[in-house]
Chain A
Amino acid sequence: MKLFGFFSRGQSAPAARERLQVLLAHERASTGDIDLVNKLRDEILKAISKHMQVDDEKVSIKMERGAQVSTLAVDIEIPFDAGKKAA
């Protein structure tokens, strides 16, 4: 922690700039993830529905970002008679 002198106050704009750069890099990455997950969800659903009937709402896709590894969890509930619709 820097103590400001009585006569010369430190400049505050560089702090603003730095804080914004760090924050926005983080925020841009996380909104990008939401877009990516939505896209993946659509495409996975499309691929599966070619072969069986699944309920849109029974599909959950989650992405978790870790420092070393990120994971993508896809959870799809397949109804009992799903195979019958295969086109």
Chain B
Amino acid sequence: MGKVIVVTSGKGGVGKTTSSAALGAALAQNGEKVVVVDFDVGLRNLDLVMGAERRVVYDLVNVIQGEAKLTQALIRDKRVETLYLLPASQTRDKDNLTPEGVEKVIAALKSAFDWVICDSPAGIERGATLAMRHADIAIVVTNPEVSSVRDSDRIIGLLDSKTLKAENGERIEKHLLLTRYDANRAERGDMLKVDDVLEILSIPLLGIIPESMDVLRASNVGAPVTLADGRSAPALAYFEATRRLKGEDLPVTIPGEKRSFLGKIFGRKAA
């Protein structure tokens, strides 16, 4: 039986889709069988970030409505053969996602994959609650910024009350993934520090993804950041995060903590 992960945040634009793609690819690059599911019905983007936008024929809603088989809707990645994508519908309304339909699809995916990664839409409405519903593990993606931290706090509350695990009196495993972190700005006192966010949200840290041009570069070419350049700072951070996800006790390093000589001279423009 595979594990179901929800990548969620409440706030939009903090890096849920980027992180879903990168973590999914990183796990698959290590030989795990992974499917990444886009729950953002009406505003799908995971296909684009993963470079599969021209290969979408059927989607999650088609499967739920019985118009296509699950195997017809799954798209196998061209670079990593154990990585699959289940796209969301772009034209249908999110009301087409039914709790029963989602339950069936997740159950089928769980039996066929090691990891089922659900990329949640922003917000706290139906799409988001259905994406988290069957999760064993939640990854809360947060930027070191007030509105993102507040929304993450709200999402943590929902994870503790609206998921199946919570309703059955079990604890859902929650992890914080701090994205777009800039160690220099935090050091100068102009950005919340890792410890500030951890203290406020009080859930364990899965990883810190540094603010980096490599993330945009990867999405431009349609590759998860761990595949676009496996040695870039964000890729390394995602690889480390997947090792922690698999239970390894790995100390979290703060990326970009030390500034190079050139970096000191040219300020933020260098590196």
A residues near B (Cβ < 8 Å) are 11-14, 16-17, 19-21, 23-24, 27-28, 31, 35
Contact = CB atoms under 8 A, between A and B. Distances in A.
Contact of B153 (A11, A27, A35): A27
B143 to A, nearest CB: 12
Contacts of A31: 157
A20 B186 contact: no
Nearest to B161: A35
A11 B192 CA distance: 10
A17 B192 contact: yes
26 contacts: A11-B188, A11-B189, A11-B190, A12-B190, A13-B186, A13-B189, A13-B191, A13-B192, A16-B146, A16-B196, A17-B192, A17-B196, A17-B200, A19-B146, A20-B149, A20-B150, A20-B200, A21-B200, A23-B150, A24-B150, A24-B200, A27-B150, A27-B154, A28-B157, A31-B157, A35-B161
- Most central of A12, A13, A19 by chain B CB within 10 Å: A13
Given A20-B150, A23-B150, A24-B150, A13 B157 contact: no
Contacts, number: 37
A13 B190 contact: yes
Given A24-B153, A27-B154, A28-B157, A13 B146 contact: no
Interface string B108-149: 000000000000000000000000000000000000011001
Nearest to A12: B190
Given A13-B193, A19-B146, A24-B153, 6 more contacts: A13-B196, A16-B145, A17-B200, A20-B200, A27-B153, A28-B157
A12 B189 contact: yes
Contacts of A14: 189
A16 B153 contact: no
Nearest to A15: B146
Interface in B186-223: 186, 188-193, 196, 200
Contacts of A12: 189-190
Contacts of A19: 146
A29 B85 CA distance: 40
A21 B197 CA distance: 10
A72 B239 CA distance: 51
A15 B82 CA distance: 46
A40 to B, nearest CB: 16
Interface string B150-164: 100110010001000
A16 B193 CA distance: 10
B9 to A, nearest CB: 16
A20 B157 CA distance: 16
A61 B237 CA distance: 49
Contacts of B153: 24, 27-28
Nearest to A21: B200
A4 B186 CA distance: 19
Contacts of B150: 20, 23-24, 27
B151 to A, nearest CB: 11
B208 to A, nearest CB: 16
A13 B145 CA distance: 9
